[in-house]
Chains A and B, each alone.
Chain A
Amino acid sequence: MVAFLITVYYFAIIVWVVSYIGFSFTEAWGKDPTTFFVNYLGLTESGTQLGGIQMNLVIPFLIVWILAAIILYSGIKKGIELACKICLPILLVMVVVLVIRGVTLPGAADGLDYMFKPNWGALTDSSVWVAAYGQIFFSLSIAFAIMISYSSYLPKKTDVVNSAFITATANHGFEVFAGIGVFSILGYMAMQQGVAVEEVAGAGVGLAFMTFPTAISTLPTLNAFFGVCFFGALFTAGLTSLISIIQAVVTGIMDKFNMSHKKAVTMVMVPAFIVSILFITGAGLTILDIVDAFVNNIGVAGCGLLEVLLIGWFFSPEKLRQAANEYSNFSVGKWWTYCLKIVTVIVLGVMLVLNIKTYITEGYGGYAQLDVTLYGWGAVLIMVLGSIIFTSMKGKDGYRDLSQIAEKEVK
């Protein structure tokens, strides 16, 4: 359910990214990318003023949908595996180009200084630790059901411990590396504008579509080339994540109702297509921002917490540990169980309580209360109701038999 909601809005961001790859060629955003972005989206003042479908978004919208559909219909091997084999090297090359360009610019040191200058005092601040765990959760796509879905297509004799280490290392290595590129370019831009790096630093949609276009326009040469690299990197990174999120929903439906892969893809793509139209209306950005915050900070954190809580305390994690170690060169010790049962439960619990408290007392992001209630808490409600309905539907699979088989396999 969580994955389905993420699908529809993640999709919208990629649609914007596709348009911006096109804009990069001519630096279509001109001197004021912020106004350009707002006009481009036809942004309305509140989430309840839809303002109609934005016609200029229709073509990129269809391009991304068709591309995602082709990849997913082609299946695991010929679709997802192939798409990732093509996208990841391209992504890496583009980011390497950006980093090399970034660090050779004057002012890069200021940007990197801002990002890396250690403030050791921060270590005593609990919110810093919560932020670190939050970043790990969002970044690794944990508790989105994706990793369970992907690993269900693994042969039995796979070394999962080693795979987990490789995935984590590649992901976090990439993250720090890309950060160097982004902040050195921002450092350069701040120097050109004669302002402090703090003033231009930002995250998310604002950074990508408002700040970065400005930075690209201030580069001395080859602006279009670096623009394409930046938005191309966002596109390839986003596309592989998008298909993984959709596939998580597809696998869920396919296994529950014992239907073919293609049929399950249709079952997911059609409703997702209809709902995602909401995000190419004038209220798209407002709705997206609210739904994103609530789904991530409450939905994902909540599911993660329940997952480790239920498995850690009500199912034997020791059994899973044996299953994990069975084909692994490097075995995980008891520390693994303790990390799951204690550390992650506490951290996620604190995170969830703090988030819910903030949203109740302060609302979110300065949006009207109506919008936050409608789209934020509405999304939470949909997640809960959706899960209940999905569970109550009768699947074609007899769980009992299967759970006995699975039990034997674990033993």
Chain B
Amino acid sequence: MREQWNSKLGFLLAAIGSAVGLGNIWRFPYIAAENGGGAFLVPYFFAIITAGIPILILEYTIGKTYRAGAPTALARINKRFEWLG
């Protein structure tokens, strides 16, 4: 039996804990300042909506549906995809 998260909150905290890393603290402000300052927020939000959230939905769906880590989950989608994981 595969272990599961205690609660959805637990999963969310773990996912947020994973996403929030050193890059959030030491990379973002500099990238923003170098790339148009306040104007950078426009492509930034655009990228969140067109790439960030869609790919998160994709990965959550793959993980949840195929019940496995990346190599096996991708292999379950198509046997030839395993190497990508």
Q: Which residues of A contact B (CB under 8 A)?
A: 10, 13, 75-77, 80-81, 83-85, 87-88, 91, 95, 114-123, 125, 127-129, 131-143, 145-156, 158-161, 163-168, 170-172, 174-176, 178-179, 182-183, 201-204, 207-208, 233-234, 237-238, 240-241, 244-245, 248, 250-256, 261, 303-304, 306-308, 310-311, 314-315, 317, 320, 323-324, 332, 336, 339-340, 343-344, 347, 387-388, 390-391, 395, 397, 399-400, 402-403, 406, 409-410
Residues of A within 8 A of B23 (CB): 135, 138-139
A312 CB to closest chain B CB, in angstroms?
9
Residues of B within 8 A of A148 (CB): 59, 62-63, 69-70, 73, 85
Residues of B within 8 A of A254 (CB): 69
> Are B14 and A80 in contact, CB atoms less than 8 angstroms apart?
yes
A148 to B43, CA, bound (A): 26
Select A176's contact among B28, B75, B78, beta carbons within 8 Å. Answer: B28
> Are A391 and B82 in contact, CB atoms less than 8 angstroms apart?
yes
> Are A179 and B65 in contact, CB atoms less than 8 angstroms apart?
no
Given known A-B contacts A76-B5, A336-B57, A152 and B13 have beta carbons under 8 A apart = no
Query: Which residues 62-79 of B sit at the A interface, judged by CB distance below 8 A?
Result: 62-73, 75-79
Number of B residues near A (Cβ < 8 Å) is 78
> Are A151 and B59 in contact, CB atoms less than 8 angstroms apart?
yes
By beta carbon, the residue of chain A nearest B77 is A315
Q: Mark B3-15, 1 if CB is under 8 A from A, else 0.
A: 1111010111111
> Are A131 and B31 in contact, CB atoms less than 8 angstroms apart?
yes
Residues of A within 8 A of B53 (CB): 164-165, 168
Residues of A within 8 A of B36 (CB): 118-123, 125, 128
Residues of B within 8 A of A159 (CB): 8
Instruction: Give 7 A-B pairs besides A85-B13, A324-B57, A399-B82 with Cβ atoms closer than 8 angstroms.
Output: A75-B3, A91-B20, A114-B37, A116-B37, A117-B37, A125-B36, A153-B4
A55 to B82, CA, bound (A): 41
> Are A320 and B65 in contact, CB atoms less than 8 angstroms apart?
yes
Select B26's contact among A84, A88, A204, beta carbons within 8 Å. Answer: A204
> Are A142 and B72 in contact, CB atoms less than 8 angstroms apart?
no
